[in-house]
Amino acid sequence: MTESLLAEPLVLPCGQRIPNRIAKAAMSEQLANRDGTASDDLRRLYAVWAGSGAGLLLSGNIMIDRDALTEPGNVILDDARGLDAVRAWTAVASATDTKMWAQINHPGKVAVSPFNRRPVAPSARRSTVPGYNIRKPRELSSSEIRGMIAKYARTAELAVAGGFHGVQVHAAHGYLLSQFLSPLSNQRNDEWGGDASRRMRAVLETVAAVREAVGDAVPVSVKLNSTDFVHGGFSGGEALDVAIALGEQGVDLLEISGGGYEQPAMTGVAAGQRPGPAGRGYFFDFAQRIRAASTVPIMLTGGLRELSAMEEILAGGVVDVVGVGRPLTFVPDYPRQLLSGGVPVLPNGAPRVGYRPANGYLELAWHNNQLHRIAAGKTPQRHPGIHTLAQSLMRITVAAGKQMSIPR
């Protein structure tokens, strides 16, 4: 029997070897301790995934600033106080060939916690999503942007010191760096905005600073939207220009995604979003456009479920790594089953309420609840219902209350 293409190792431009082509894509775990340090629950969850068969594990959001969290329960790594907990977290992969990378992020205007602090953004424009537009963000000054870039670099340096094998800069899904790329959220007319070239500057300078902080032998990845799926926002043409620039800058792996809070395309429910062609993922068409213009290694995430489709996109040379996220919340050894030729059985999606942003949020909350079950040593629910969503909402509400004043 011929070995699956998924089982082939991949050597990145920096020299790091990933043992196979399946990556556990980033999912926000919301499992940190109240002070933002990595918890025992987080360690137990990743101990399960370290044995999942995935060649690469990407963490959920690790925040570069304790004054801005994407959700309550995010890990915060803005100074060295949490390094021992991070080392205990990353040690779960030490007995395997699996690589663990830290996804580092800042939410910008869509910060949820701490709710008693005003969010910041490229421009003082509210989010268009109910629940995220209550607090009008404050526009960052040019010097503050440079300070923010330095924070990304500092968090990357700390992550590697804590045992992570690589770093991914999150520049997608409507978070801060994604906001800089969008002409809707970035309406500046200085060196950080005004045209597409200047709007990408914050991303490129952040990646350069991270590379300088971690060195040439440590992988630096970027997560980038193919488009925001919002009229007048970050377009596919602009995204292609950014992807080409990142390839020229020498990023080791470019993960392709799409959407954000306004249009959650990463969950498959954005307005105007087409299903992936023949099961090849939501954003395969954009990956093809990048491959035609750049040799940058590509990781494709979103909507990939079938072994045959994964092998097809690898065989075609368009994609180098397949990202799988939500399936691992219900079938924690999903990669191993794929590699052995199995057909993992997944439940249907979360209930729909008829409003796309809410549908996307409910989908994420529905899966997030399973992460908490795995971390607690329980098996995932095979047929979760509305009560599962209620549990998730209650947990987030309690966590938000605890983090109203995060220890500084």
pLDDT, tens digit, for every residue of 86-132?
999 999 999 899 999 999 999 999 898 887 789 999 999 887 766 66
At CA 327, angle to CA 51 and CA 263, rounded to 5? 135
Identify the pLDDT of residue 273: 47
Q: Give the tokens for residue 18.
A: 């990933």
Whichever domain contains 174, its CATH number is 3.20.20.70
Q: Give the tokens for residue 378.
A: 């329980």
Nearest-angstrom CA–CA distance, 334 and 54: 8
Identify the pLDDT of residue 270: 43
Nearest-angstrom CA–CA distance, 70 and 113: 7
**Residue range 202-211: mean pLDDT, rounded:** 98
pTM for the predicted model, two decimal places: 0.90
The answer to the question of residue 407 being in a domain is: no
Nearest-angstrom CA–CA distance, 62 and 140: 21
The answer to the question of residue 408 being in a domain is: no
Cβ contacts of residue 103 below 8 Å, gap of 6+?
26, 58, 59, 60, 61, 62, 167, 168, 170, 223
In contact, 117 and 406? CB cutoff 8 Å: no
Cis amide linkage into residue 114, ω under 30° from 0: yes
Identify the pLDDT of residue 367: 77
- Look at residue 271 and tell me whether its pLDDT is greater than 50: no
Range of the domain at 122: 5-402
Domain count, the chain: 1
- Look at residue 17 and tell me whether its pLDDT is greater than 50: yes
The answer to the question of residue 373 being in a domain is: yes
Determine what percent of the chain is predicted with pLDDT higher than 90: 65
- pLDDT tens, position by position, 374-391: 999 998 877 666 666 666
In contact, 259 and 173? CB cutoff 8 Å: yes
Residue 116 identity (one-letter amino acid): N
Identify the pLDDT of residue 231: 63
Identify the pLDDT of residue 381: 77
